Amino acid sequence: MSENTNNRQSRIRNFSIIAHIDHGKSTLADRILETTSALTKREMKAQMLDAMDLERERGITIKLNAVQLNYKAKDGETYIFHLIDTPGHVDFTYEVSRSLAACEGALLIVDAAQGIEAQTLANVYLALENDLEIIPVINKIDLPNAEPERVRQEIEDVIGLDASDSVLASAKAGIGINDILEQIVEKVPSPQGDPNAPLKALIFDSMYDPYRGVVAYIRIVEGTVRVGDKIKMMATNKTFEVIELGVSTPKIVMKDELSVGDVGFLTASIKNVKDVHVGDTITNAIKPAAEQLPGYRKMNPMVYCGLYPIDSSKYNDLREALERLELNDSALQYEPETSEALGFGFRCGFLGLLHMEIIQERIEREFNIDLITTAPSVIYQIETVDGESLRVDNPSKMPEKKEIESIEEPYVKATIMTPNDYVGQVMELCQGKRGDFIDMVYLSENRVNIIYHLPLSEIVYDFFDQLKSSTKGYASLDYEFLGNRPSKLVKMDILLNGEKIDALSLIVHQDFAYERGKAIVEKLKELIPRQQFEVPIQAAIGQKIIARSTIKALRKNVLAKCYGGDISRKRKLLEKQKEGKKRMKTVGRVEVPQEAFMAVLRINED
Amino acid sequence: MFCNSVAYREGVCMIKGAYIHIPFCEHICYYCDFNKVFIKNQPVDDYLDALEKEIAQSGSHPNLKTIYIGGGTPTALDTQQFNRLLNIVKKYLLNESIIEYTIEANPENITPEKLYLMKESGVTRLSIGVQTFQDEILESIGRLHHPDDAAKAVGEAKKAGFENISIDLMFGLPNQTEDMLIASIQEALKLQTEHISIYSLQIEPKTIFFNRMKKGKLTLPGQELEAKMFETLIRTLEEKGFNHYEISNFAKPGFESRHNSLYWQNEPYYGFGAGSHGYIYGQRVVNSGPINKYIQRVNNRGHACTATHQVSITEAIEEEMFLGLRMKQGVNKRHFYEKFGRPLNSLYNRTIKDLKQKGLLYEDEDRLALTHEGLFLGNDVFSSFLLG
């Protein structure tokens, strides 16, 4: 028995795939599933691991997923592979680090044409911190502009890995897949750990299932867990009884026990996803481990925005949607909020901008609620003259200037990787965003790492889009939270038709206030359609108007054309107009489209 | 197929109008997005064969009131072909019940022969595409004729005995000023026609203007000037005794277009010819647009209908509103009740209140209609009457 277990443990290989968006991670995962015959061709949906529609459409992975595969290697043995999928975006760094912690190895996928990107590098460092064996794979070698040799050199120069036997692959064309699988067998160490020691299982993901409660995705690091065991969450001290254990192949296979090295799922009638923290350790409640696994961190939202239903009768639907999403997303926070302009809604906290966009899109799509999203804000730390400390996550809640002693705002360390042709553009952009230059490192002859300290609020605005457009899409960005710093910030109000619109208020650095105010009123003029009357738009700091523009009155929109008997064309045109109106919120007497509330993010668009 | 059903044949007696499409042109205007092709090398004779077959298949029409031949350019046909067209209509559609028979004509190809043939064949009304009286603008919108041609065409039509002539004008054209529009209206008034249509330019996809606009090479008057032009033209024509009976249409009393009024009154009508639209027995039907496809379909099946849409009660109500409100007389509440079995006000209470408050809608005991301001912002009014 023990020998069997040991033998089995020695044949387990746990690995992740690290890749930049678009470098082919999902396609490679598909190929691996195909080659290990986890799925018959008929079952094979392209990009099997990305289950949610949204993930497939955006080509990114939001939720992690782990699959058990059997691979018959050239040495004649059958190995048990656990492929743990990781999200590939800056908002989810912590989740990536936990899923990497569940592995002994990682495939590093680098696009043979594009080379290493900032996000890839950040994740490679995470993998190295977790002591993972890294297998470099140079992908898309069948593309006409592939330069595998240059990329191989880059991997050696930039990361310091031995890339001499990196696999040259094309996941799309099915080239190099067997080499990858053989290297996993050879290079990735088998899991170490004592199956008889007290249980330590790392939670690297969770999801909510309406019938089974929270499903925790776990990696057994020490010990064994069996159905019926009493277990304890070491961070929250909550106890539960194990109902189900299993693995995904990716079909669900139930198990009686999971032991050292196994990667699978656990259910225990857990009602609340907030009881299952990613990074927490599950142990046995009767025979607990002495200490939890290292690296646990509670996730805090970095970005806040208001979500309001356009149709105010949908407020309850929105609350239900948030409740449902929260079940699956422990990082999502929300609380009710009221706006004079928008009525009842919620202030929601997110890990980052992508996280925010995904939640917003899911609410609109899956719950069919048209939303108004206010411009995202960070948390400002305010000391009042009365000695009170405030955390402000909504610009309209900022106290009057005379009541403020000091304001602090969050700063991040931003790492921007760019071809050296764009160094000037990147620096100009960072300076324009109140950045402090920290360092610049040449990674190779023509790739540069530029490091700036930047206010998070500037990144939240439109930094990423501007970075992409000023570097023709070549630069990539990674950032990490540094801490709060004092700043000279002021609140800017926007008035429509003479009325202050709280949902449009924003906090700006006083040196940039005029410039930004001007840009915003111009953008709003562009985004808000003509009304039956003239609408002045003003930007104000306190009582002082700093910028102004005017939307002219609508004068004529009647269709005065002979369409003959073609009524359907008239109808389509009117339906389009009516659809547009549905997506507008009447604020005072002005009909304001959704996009206008995000105008501040779009001031640099043409 | 509906074309052979008994119900359809019984329903025929209710259909009061027939539209016939002639999709051929000698020149393509830069703003036109109707179904049309250069006439050169086109199978015009085969087209007329197919048209005859399609019309013949539709049965007899003892109660038809209006016929309208539009295009394209019906007068682009040569004399022989044109005569053939008139004979087809005479054979299958024309009878004592017809009260209006219109043909669209371009000033440059109205010949005395064609006028004579039309008069002989029972055509009662001519609609002449003049568009504007400024030579440089005519050229810049792709029209072939000159201002003098328009006057000449109207003169000859009158000489041939036509007593119901309409001319089409346009405003909001590239580089057109308000003065130019006024001058065009003055010229049009001199011709003393019974009817004037003035359409505003709409830039539609798949037109030369659309492509120019995309490249930023089209200067349009803009909304303010367009509104001012609309205001001016309404005032000028009303002062001269024209009844502004529909958003784009003006008539001397008694000369309102009967055929077009069928559309606005949401009445059924036939559509014959390539790409034409009909409203038959509660269905919106569309014919194949491409000439060859149309001919082929008619030859194979006796009709060229490619799409039908059964209009639901809700849609019929919406259409009653957004078409009816185009007319000065608006929507009659009693007619509405008779047609749909429910009071207009009960369906649209909030909409009516809201639009009245905005000053766009007029209401009295009998009817709903656009106000003067509503005429300008018609689309806001129309779209409010969509129930979905």
Give the position of tokens 């014959």.
Answer: B272
Q: Among A286-300, A355-369, B140-154, B349-363, where is mean pLDDT lowest?
A: A286-300
The per-residue pLDDT for A276 is 87
Q: Which whole number is the average pLDDT over B363-369? A: 97
- Tell me the range of A41-45, A84-88, A246-250, A411-415 where mean pLDDT is highest: A411-415
- A45 carries a ligand binding annotation: no
B127-139 pLDDT per residue, tens: 999 999 999 999 9
Q: Which whole number is the average pLDDT over B215-229? A: 93
**How far is B139 from chain A, CA to nearest CA, in Å?**
21
Alpha-carbon torsion A329, A333, A339, A343, what sign? positive
Touching B: A residues 536-575, CB under 8 Å: 552, 554-562, 564-568, 570-571, 573-575
Cβ count within 10 A of residue A74: 10
Cα–Cα distance list, A395 to A42, A332, B267 (Å):
53, 20, 57
Which regions of A26-182 does DSSP assign to beta strands (E)?
66-72, 78-84, 105-111, 133-139, 167-168
- A139 carries a ligand binding annotation: yes
Confidence of residue A601 (pLDDT cuts 50, 70, 90): confident
State the Cα–Cα distance between residues A459 and A433, nearest whole angstrom. Answer: 8
Q: Is B335 on the interface with A (CB under 8 A)?
A: no
State the Cα–Cα distance between residues A246 and B141, nearest whole angstrom. Answer: 73
State the Cα–Cα distance between residues A7 and B340, nearest whole angstrom. Answer: 81
Complete DSSP assignment for B199-240: EEP---TTSHHHHHHHTT------HHHHHHHHHHHHHHHHHT
Q: Which whole number is the average pLDDT over B299-304? A: 94
**Whether pLDDT at B5 is above 50:** no
Backbone angle region of B266, left / alpha / beta, with phi > 0 → left and psi within -120 to 50 → alpha? left
Touching A: B residues 22-81, CB under 8 Å: 34, 70
Q: Among A167-181, A324-338, A564-578, where is mean pLDDT lowest?
A: A324-338
Confidence of residue A88 (pLDDT cuts 50, 70, 90): low
Substitution target in A552, A554, A558 with the highest count of B β-carbons within 10 Å is A558
Half-sphere exposure in the Cβ direction for A323 (13 Å, CA)? 9
Q: Which whole number is the average pLDDT over A142-159? A: 90
The per-residue pLDDT for A605 is 55
**Whether pLDDT at B163 is above 50:** yes
Contact A560 B200 (CB under 8 A): yes
**Whether pLDDT at A305 is above 70:** yes
- A72 carries a ligand binding annotation: no
Contact B379 A577 (CB under 8 A): yes
Give chain B's mean pLDDT.
93
Confidence of residue A253 (pLDDT cuts 50, 70, 90): confident
Which among B358, B356, B348 has a CA at the least distance from the CA of B385?
Answer: B348
- A97 carries a ligand binding annotation: no
Q: Which whole number is the average pLDDT over A314-334? A: 87
The per-residue pLDDT for B9 is 41
Q: Among A38-42, A311-315, A549-553, where is mean pLDDT lowest?
A: A38-42
Contact A557 B323 (CB under 8 A): no
**Whether pLDDT at B254 is above 90:** yes
- A25 carries a ligand binding annotation: yes
Q: What percent of chain A has pLDDT over 70?
A: 91
State the Cα–Cα distance between residues B158 and B166, nearest whole angstrom. Answer: 12
Q: Looking at this protein, which amino acid is placed at residue B144?
A: L
Least CB-CB distance to A570: which of B199, B309, B322?
Answer: B322
Structure token digits, residue A589 = 């007497």
Q: Which whole number is the average pLDDT over A361-365? A: 91
Q: Looking at this protein, which amino acid is placed at residue B127?
A: S
- A140 carries a ligand binding annotation: yes
Q: Among A36-45, A298-307, A378-387, where is mean pLDDT lowest?
A: A36-45
Q: Which whole number is the average pLDDT over A404-413? A: 94
- A61 carries a ligand binding annotation: no
The β-bridge partners of B287 are B305
The per-residue pLDDT for A5 is 62
Substitution target in A534, A552, A559 with the highest count of B β-carbons within 10 Å is A559
Q: Is B382 on the interface with A (CB under 8 A)?
A: yes
* Gyration radius of chain B over CA positions: 21
Confidence of residue B326 (pLDDT cuts 50, 70, 90): very high
- A142 carries a ligand binding annotation: yes
Q: Report whether A391 contacts A398 (CB < 8 A).
A: no
Contact A565 B375 (CB under 8 A): no
Q: Which residues of A touch B314 (CB under 8 A)?
A: none
Touching A: B residues 282-321, CB under 8 Å: 284, 286, 309, 315, 318-319
Contact A560 B277 (CB under 8 A): no
Q: Which whole number is the average pLDDT over B40-49? A: 96
The per-residue pLDDT for A20 is 77
The per-residue pLDDT for A185 is 96
Structure token digits, residue B196 = 């004037």
Which regions of B141-189 does DSSP assign to beta strands (E)?
165-171
Contact B223 A564 (CB under 8 A): no
Q: What percent of chain B has pLDDT over 70?
A: 97
Minimal-distance CA residue of chain A relative to B17? A565
The β-bridge partners of A214 are A208
**Whether pLDDT at A44 is above 70:** no
Q: Is A582 on the interface with B (CB under 8 A)?
A: no
**Whether pLDDT at A55 is above 50:** no
The per-residue pLDDT for B68 is 97
Contact A561 B277 (CB under 8 A): no
Minimal-distance CA residue of chain B relative to A557? B377
Q: Which residues of B touch A570 (CB under 8 A)?
A: 322-323, 382
Residue length of chain B = 388
Q: Is B271 on the interface with A (CB under 8 A)?
A: yes
Q: What percent of chain A has pLDDT over 90?
A: 56
Q: Which whole number is the average pLDDT over B305-328? A: 95
The per-residue pLDDT for B2 is 38
Maximum Cα interatomic distance, chain B, rounded to a whole number of Å = 58
**How far is A321 from chain B, CA to nearest CA, in Å?**
24
Q: Which residues of A touch B278 (CB under 8 A)?
A: 565
Q: Report whether A427 contacts A437 (CB < 8 A).
A: yes
A353 CA to centre of own chain: 7
Least CB-CB distance to A556: which of B70, B227, B382?
Answer: B227
Q: Which whole number is the average pLDDT over B3-21? A: 63
Q: Which residues of B touch A575 (CB under 8 A)?
A: 383, 386, 388
Structure token digits, residue B256 = 């309102």
Complete DSSP assignment for B28-49: --TT--SS-EE-TT--HHHHHH
Complete DSSP assignment for B311-324: PPHHHHHHHHHHHH
A434-486 pLDDT per residue, tens: 999 999 998 777 788 999 999 999 988 778 888 888 888 778 888 888 999 99
Q: Among A84-88, B55-59, B199-203, where is mean pLDDT lowest?
A: A84-88
Q: Which whole number is the average pLDDT over B160-173? A: 96
State the Cα–Cα distance between residues B104 and B226, nearest whole angstrom. Answer: 26
Q: Report whether A188 contacts A159 (CB < 8 A).
A: no
